[in-house]
Amino acid sequence: MDIHEYQAKELLKKFGVNVPRGGIAYSPEQAVYRASELSGDKWVVKAQIHSGARGKAGGVRICSSEEEISDAAQWMLGRKLVTHQTGPQGKLVSRLYIEEATNIAQEIYLGFVMDRKLERVVVVASAQGGMEIEEISAEEPDSIIRSVVDPAVGMQNFQAREIAFSLGLEPALIPQAVKTIIGCYQMMWEHDANMVEINPLVVTGAGEIVALDAKVSFDENALFRHPDISELRDKSQEDPRETYAGDRGLSYIGLDGKIGCIVNGAGLAMATLDMIKMAGGEPANFLDVGGGASPERVLKSFKAVLNDKNVEAILVNIFAGINRCDWIAEGVVLAVKELDLKIPLVVRLSGTNVEEGMKLLKESGLEIETANTLAEAAEKVVGLWKASDETLAEAS
Ligand code: GDP
Ligand code: MN
């Protein structure tokens, strides 16, 4: 789960990380008022969306008058900001963060990620901040410093000092840098975050180290341990299809294609996506119904898949071990009737109670195509989808 920049900064501040003073605003008037509460004669208006690269998209504006603040706020609020991380649909800006502007002498990259292979936190840093880490690794790969944290002891002073020295910071800045690195690590560790990215971490003209931007992402499986973090969730920034499915306890990930998928098991679901692509289609989603799925759960899965208005055909692929094909079939029949399904549907059942399942589908008298293998199912659904697309084109 992602949070907004200002929320990340509030958390980091509690752990001793230096951040600019700022305030949140929901209207241009409020933005101007927030700036008046801050000292200085330059302010930064920052769109709060769950995405980086806002600067290049116009979502970060340095202003030196009330008028400029008001104009920037007017332009940003209510806009769907498109960055190269949001996808073409963009993300809605409904709140702004107004900060006192910082005088930048140097921009540094500082990131903390949970490395799944190492099962440890890895610190990634570079003196070439300001660019994204992908650009840094393409253009200045030698500038990247990596340091693995031993979970038994956590981030130690000497390790943070080593990172700070590798960044080439002046001796006078080392204690502040150490405090920042340890603060970020502690915040991450105590909240079960899986990513903390400060880009840029800056050295100011006055010789201070300040986190100018902050991106933090949390492990959703650990949110039950952090009710205060759960409260920071902003559903307006998430894929509405995923929010809908997630709220109903389904494991669903939205994709860009037209063929909806209902599958059991993450591995089989991934293989199903591949097979649809090989057959010339594009999957609309990943959905794992899990084990022992009841007819009601299958119905819920259909609702989640159809909640995506782009879906033009559905493939159900079940390899039943713990699942029962008759329950799945019952759910499919229930869904087709209750949801008055009009788009092509292909069902492939295999495993426990497959005969009963197939019988239920056949005896329902509904227009449900069946298949024996995954390859056959994928080809059938793509074929039916293409045919229905042509029929639609002819009709219009
Ligand atoms: P991002 O584009 O979403 O990563 O947003 P950032 O918060 O990182 O801002 C983008 C860029 O704007 C930074 O890399 C800085 O170069 C610049 N910027 C942001 N805040 C300030 C500031 O207070 N002063 C100055 N001079 N530049 C800033
Ligand atoms: Mn940034």
Residue ending a domain, among 43, 67, 100, is 100
Which atom of ligand 1 is nearest the CA belonging to 102? 23
Which atom of ligand 1 is nearest the CA belonging to 100? 23
Assign 112 to helix, strand or coil.
Answer: strand
Mean pLDDT of 42-70: 97
135 shares a domain with 79: no
* pLDDT, tens digit (0-9, with 9 covering 90-100), for 173-230: 999 999 999 999 999 999 999 999 999 999 999 999 999 999 999 999 999 999 999 9
| Res 394 pLDDT > 90 | no
Query: Which range of residues forms the domain containing residue 43?
Result: 21-100
Q: Which ligand is nearest to the CA of 128?
A: 1
For residue 356, being part of any structural domain is answered with yes
Q: pTM for this structure? A: 0.83
By the 10 Å C-beta count (0-12 exposed, 13-18 middle, 19+ buried), 153 is classed as exposed
Query: What angle (nearest 5°) sits at the alpha carbon of residue 297, between those of residues 271 and 250?
Result: 60
| Res 369 pLDDT > 70 | yes
Asked if omega into 200 is within 30° of 0 (cis), the reply is: yes
Residue ending a domain, among 100, 121, 138, is 100
Q: How many domains does the chain have?
A: 3
50 shares a domain with 129: no
165 shares a domain with 118: yes
- Is 26 marked active-site? no
Cα 251 to Cα 126: distance, rounded to the nearest angstrom:
36
Cα 351 to Cα 339: distance, rounded to the nearest angstrom:
27
Tell me the sheet residues that pair with 218: 193
Residue 50 is part of a domain; what is its CATH number?
Answer: 3.30.1490.20
| Res 395 pLDDT > 80 | no
Residues in CB range of 141: below 8 A, 6 or more apart: none
End-to-end CA, the chain:
42
Residues in CB range of 30: below 8 A, 6 or more apart: none
pLDDT at 42: 97
- Is 109 marked active-site? yes
The better pLDDT of the pair 17, 235 is held by: 17
128 shares a domain with 266: no
Mean pLDDT of 346-368: 97
124 shares a domain with 195: yes
For residue 94, being part of any structural domain is answered with yes
Above pLDDT 70, what percent of the chain?
100
* pLDDT, tens digit (0-9, with 9 covering 90-100), for 106-148: 999 999 999 999 999 999 999 998 888 999 999 999 999 999 9
Ligand 1 in reach of 164 Cβ (< 6 A): no
8 A C-beta contact, residue 285 and residue 253:
yes
Pocket test for ligand 1, best of 212, 216, 237 (most atoms within 8 A of CB): 212
Confidence of residue 389 (pLDDT cuts 50, 70, 90): confident
Write the single-letter amino acid at 382.
V
Ligand 1 in reach of 131 Cβ (< 6 A): no
Residue 293 is part of a domain; what is its CATH number?
Answer: 3.40.50.261
For residue 256, being part of any structural domain is answered with yes
Ligand 1 in reach of 127 Cβ (< 6 A): no
Of 160-169, 234-243, 355-364, minimum mean pLDDT range: 234-243
195 shares a domain with 53: no
* pLDDT, tens digit (0-9, with 9 covering 90-100), for 303-353: 999 999 999 999 999 999 999 999 999 999 999 999 999 999 999 999 999
Catalytic position from the list 99, 107, 197, 312: 197
Neighbouring C-alpha atoms within 13 Å toward the C-beta of 63: 25
Mean pLDDT for the chain overall: 96
